Amino acid sequence: MQLTLWTYEGPPHIGAMRVATGMKGLHYVLHAPQGDTYADLLFTMIERRGERPPVTYTTFQARDLGGDTAELFKASVAAAHERFRPQAMIVGASCTAELIQDDPGGLAAALELPIPVIPLELPAYQKKENWGAAETLYRLVRGLAKPAVQRRPKTCNILGPTALGFRNRDDVIEVKKLLASLGIEVLVTAPMDATPADIARLPEADFNVSLYPEISEPAARYLEKTFGQKFTTVIPIGVGATRAFIREVAATAGIDAAATLPDGEARLPWYSRSVDSTYLTGKRVFIFGDATHAMAAARVARDELAFDVVGLGTYSRELARPMRELAREFGLEALITDDYLEVEKSVAELHPDLVLGSQMERHIAKRLGVPCAVISAPVHVQDFPARYAPQMGFEGANVIFDTWVHPLMMGLEEHLLHMFRDDFEFHEQAAPSHLGHRKQSDAPVAPATPATVSWLPDAEDELKKIPFFVRKKARRNTEAYATARGLAHITVETLYDAKAHFSR
Amino acid sequence: MNSPVILRESRGATCDAPQVKRERGQREVFCGLTSIVWLHRKIQDAFFLVIGSRTCAHLIQSAAGVMIFAEPRFATAIIEERDLAGLADLDNELDRVVGRLLERRPEIRMLFLVGSCPSEVIKLDLKRAAARLNREHMPNVRVLNYSGSGIETTFTQGEDACLTSLVAELPDAGAQKSLLIAGSLPDAVEDQFSRIFRELNIPCAFLPGRKSASLPKIGANSRVLMAQPFLGDTARALTDRGAQVIAAPFPFGAEGTRLWLQAAAEEFGVSSQLFEAVTGPAYRRAEAALAHHRARMEGKRIFFFPDSQLEVPLARFVARELGMVLEEVGTPYLHAQHMAQEMALLPAGTALYEGQDVERQLDRCRALRPDITVCGLGLANPLEAEGLTTKWSIELVFSPVHGFEQAADLAGLFARPLNRRERLAV
């Protein structure tokens, strides 16, 4: 048993729903008890979709358990086929139905419907949402893709975008733009907007762009193994990664990318080099999310904004290995967990200047009074913006620059705070002036002071003169410095000794 | 989506009685776990531990949405493969989880172990677990259990099950005659009702209380007034403790609130002069506030999808106090005895559906094209996209809507979507 307050990922059938809802002409019949229909609201409310997800639930109740839930399932499949007339169906069980072992695949097959019906085995007590989405896409590809009569050069498919994905809608537009500039045509984007017939013709393309490896990689590997289609591995988030993606695509397609490489619309490089951005240097940033977005964010933070990455992790256990490798490159140990409390503890200990994470980290940052920007699912309704806001490609990099810099204190404002510490408006509780009057918490969340080190009143007063946004760090550093030297009391001298020590 | 069956047409005594149709098919409703979203705010030192799956945890957090920024007083103990395979002893696992939880939250005084679909299907005995944990943690923490599973409870029935488990814990009131208001109400509304009953000289208490230590007493001379229409089992448990439930409509709208208070006043022998003196001004104030809404809502056609069991009282309110036309009133469950007073107030021939077949109901709704449709979060945006105006029903459960002072706010919840559609020119 695992004690959970909030979960990063839903159960695996939610992943299957993300695939089905992204597609057209596919219907999902889910053997599930009453109440599991809550999942519809993820799509209709959070993503603001104007259609119900193409999902039929059997919504069995206690009285059905005594009767024939298998018959109920068969009737539901037949009725869904009759009403929605899909090109293909997927069938499966949610966590409770898994326990009653009705065999949805076998029951559906017995109906001998005139369309492909693909059974899904999604072990709800072992696996989670992204795995479920990846498995569903893989099963669909395996079940529907047909050998191509002829492969078409300079074409590709985009694999991975789903319903409820973080900025998937705009990423696809941006990546298609990049590919078009290279003269490459996108045959099928899947699951998003693809029909089962589109899945069938995936092998016609020359290669695949695997955009969200958590979801697309098993399908991409299958297509490579079975149909010899190569797939890309670079995720074009950030200017550097976008350039690398262009090179990879060009090499895969056998074309010359030199013409496209000058990245005219990328403003991030100049914005980052312009003098106003000097104050961003060395901002301490904590990064957590799905592995793809967190790893990309870490590279952008270090190489394109000159931040210090002080914490890095993911809830995607499937991609723990590459995450660990990258973290080592940053001199960090990756935090691999799906326990929200562990992430909170880590943020509290590290006192970053900025948190980049999912909506969970937004909760954490809000609680701790740390600025935050969202970089990864799970996200909430405000992270499905009306405007065009990709994360990928050169425009995505522009969006990232704006989004990450916005929560921070502006350059000149930070200087003024240093100069006029006792100013009545620039007091210690002040938030960045463009963000209203949010209260910032100064209290150490985890008691950082070992009982053996105490602050003398003079030192405590001096500490208060240090601007609030670095005060927590100063307190922590001074205490660490004193503890390391076995000092019982912290004096004003200790404070400045520690400052000198840590500024080396 | 199952083949729909109309199980029974009620044999109405007169042709004027509402026709009750029962429907079976896909239900588009929350399960009882969802009630935890408000129950954990209501009982301030209680913690709700769901013993369930990742789906349960995901459901509660999706239903709660962004409403809760603080560390919530609910959590899920997620059953894993090794628990099911018998590799881990479920009792030991549960004890470990509860121990960790109580260590982390020492301020908790009452712990509810909440059963879910998976825990019910594997027949995990939470009653026995609660007894075992009580031996360990009493008197610091009282451990109770109930089921909020979807196979047994629909949405607000989770509160019914929770309160039923609380009834067994209520101290005995002896021979004292007093009033118990059953059903969780927003604190502000509870305070308003408290003031009114105090002025009527009726000693009253509320179930649930805000603190687990201050549980109301119950006994043979207790009278119970139901504040919520979905508490059938709670009422039965209170009756089993000797209390008598006062038959009344529910306190929605000016009329509903007055009838509700009046039923209690009569039971406690309050003079009509005192009743009028205490309730008259608030009643007239509510009526005046409603008149403004009535002018805009009169004649508008409304359609209720089943959701919280509030549908019948709300339909009565919008029909009688706002002059709206009831196209269809769906409710997940119709408790004939508790609803008797409400049903009697419904307009003749109201189409009343118990249960649900969501696809058929959507067909009817699309055919009728009502002016406003009350439905769950899964259906609202799709219907809006089809050009229908909707009111998401969960807000009717989460907002202060009971009593005189909230009558106009309740009308406002229905008026706002209509008003919005009129204003928008895009």
Instruction: Please check whether residues B301 and B409 belong to one and the same domain.
Output: yes
Within-domain flag for B242: yes
CATH of the domain at B415: 3.40.50.1980
For the sheet with A152-159, list strands across it: A185-190, A152-159, A205-210, A230-231
From the list B72, B84, B380, the residue facing A44 with the nearest CB is: B380
> Is B64 within 8 Å of chain A by CB?
no
Give the chain A residue nearest B74 (alpha carbons): A5
User: Could you tell me the residue range of the domain that residue B55 belongs to?
Assistant: 32-153
Q: Give the model confidence (pLDDT) of A64-114 as tens digits.
A: 887 799 999 999 999 999 999 999 999 999 999 999 999 999 999 999 999
> What is the topology classification, in CATH, of domain A268-405?
Rossmann fold (3.40.50)
Q: How many domains does chain B have?
A: 3
pLDDT for the residue numbered A67: 78
Would the CB atoms of B55 and A72 count as touching at under 8 Å?
no
CB B399 within 8 A of CB B409: yes
- B378 to chain A, any CB pair closer than 8 A? The answer is yes
Beta carbons within 10 angstroms of residue A440's beta carbon: 17
Query: Tens digit of pLDDT for each residue in A165-200?
Result: 999 999 999 999 999 989 999 999 999 999 999 999
pLDDT in tens, B41-67: 899 999 999 999 999 999 998 887 654
Is the same domain home to B43 and B124? Answer: yes
User: In terms of domains, do B263 and B384 share one?
Assistant: no
Catalytic residue among A102, A103, A193, A276: A276
Q: Does B80 touch chain A (CB under 8 A)?
A: yes
pLDDT in the model for residue A492: 87
If asked whether residues B11 and B58 sit together in one domain, one would say no
Band (A425; pLDDT cuts 50, 70, 90): low
Cα–Cα distances (Å) from B275 to B204, B270, B281, B289, in that order, read 16, 7, 11, 21
Is residue B297 domain-shared with residue B419, that is, in the same domain? yes
Using a CB-CB cut-off of 8 Å, the residues of chain A touching B151 are 33-34, 60-62, 64-65, 96
Q: Which of B29, B59, B381 sits opposite A48 (nearest CB)?
A: B381
How many residue contacts between A and B have a Cβ separation below 8 Å? Answer: 194
Q: Is the pLDDT of residue A442 over 50?
A: no
B162 falls within a domain: no
Residue type, A487: L
B186 and B144 in one domain? no
Q: Which of B33, B37, B51, B58 best probes binding to A when mutated, by most A CB atoms within 10 angstroms?
A: B58
Delimit the domains of chain A by residue range: 12-129, 145-253, 268-405, 454-502
- In B148-265, which ranges are E strands? 178-182, 204-207, 222-226, 244-245
Which residue from B minimizes the CA distance to A365? B69
- pLDDT over threshold 80, residue A435: no
Question: Chain B: nearest CA to A333, how far in angstroms?
Answer: 26
CATH superfamily assigned to domain A145-253: Nitrogenase molybdenum iron protein domain (3.40.50.1980)
- Asked if B1 and A80 come within 8 Å (Cβ–Cβ), the reply is yes
Mark yes or no for CB contact A124/B65 under 8 Å.
no
pLDDT on residue B2: 43
User: Which of these ranges, A7-21, A97-111, A318-332, B85-99, has the smallest mean pLDDT?
Assistant: B85-99
Matching fold, domains A12-129 and A268-405:
yes
In this structure, the strands spanning B19-24 and B5-9 are antiparallel
Interface test with A, best of B2, B22, B67, B92 (most A CBs within 10 A): B2
C-alpha span between A34 and A59 (Å, rounded): 4
Instruction: Show the CA angle centred on residue B69, arms to residues A294 and A370, nearest 5°.
Output: 50
Interface touch A4/B78, C-beta < 8 Å: yes
Q: Which residues of chain B have pLDDT under 50?
A: 1-15, 67
Report CB contact under 8 Å: B53, A37: no
Query: Bridge partners of A93?
Result: A31
> In CATH, what is the architecture of A12-129?
3-Layer(aba) Sandwich (3.40)
Question: In three state form, how does the secondary structure of A272-315 look?
Answer: HHCHHHHHHCCCEEEEEECHHHHHHHHHHHHHHCCCEEEEEEEC
Is the model's pLDDT at A141 over the cut of 60? yes
In angstroms, what separates the C-alpha of B190 from chain A's closest C-alpha? 29
According to DSSP, the β-strands at A454-455 and A372-374 are: unpaired
Measure CB to CB from residue A36 to each of B55, B75, B80 and give the nearest one. B55
Query: pLDDT at position A88, please?
Result: 98
Nearest by CB to residue B378, choosing from A41, A124, A126, is A41
- On whether both B145 and B208 belong to a single domain, the answer is no
Measure A480 CA to nearest chain B CA, in Å.
Answer: 26
Q: Nearest-CA neighbor of B214 among B26, B343, B387, B42?
A: B42
B149 lies in the same domain as B247: no
- A325-350 average pLDDT score: 95
**Residue B306 shares a structural domain with residue B390:** yes
Q: Do B100 and A34 touch (CB under 8 A)?
A: no
Residues of A in contact with B387 (CB under 8 A): none
Neighboring chain A residues of B70 at a CB cutoff of 8 Å = 367
CA distance linking residue A43 with residue A41, whole number of Å:
5
Residue B199 lies in a domain: yes
Contact of B93 with chain A, judged by CB distance below 8 Å, is answered with yes
Nearest residue in chain A measured CA to CA from B28: A37
**Do both B41 and B144 map to the same domain?**
yes
Chain B residues lying within 8 Å of A13, measured CB to CB: 55
Place of tokens 């009750």: B20
Cross-chain CB nearest to A83 (options B28, B359, B378): B359
- Is residue B386 situated within a structural domain? yes
**pLDDT of amino acid B5:** 39
Residues B186 and B271 grouped into a single domain: yes
CB contact under 8 A, A45 and B76: no
Query: Average pLDDT of chain A?
Result: 90
**Cβ atoms of residues A257 and A247 within 8 Å:** yes
- A24-76: per-residue pLDDT in tens? 999 999 999 999 999 999 999 999 999 999 999 999 998 888 779 999 999 99
Whether residue A68 lies in the annotated active site:
no
What's the CATH class of domain A454-502? mainly alpha
The yes-or-no verdict on residue A445 having pLDDT over 60 is no
Residues of chain A with C-beta less than 8 angstroms from the C-beta of B30 = 35, 38
Q: How far apart are CA A465 and CA A473, in angstroms?
A: 13
Residues B24 and B36 in one domain: no
Nearest CB partner across the interface for A44, out of B77, B88, B378: B378
- Which candidate, B243, B122, B124, B227, places its Cα nearest to that of B172? B243
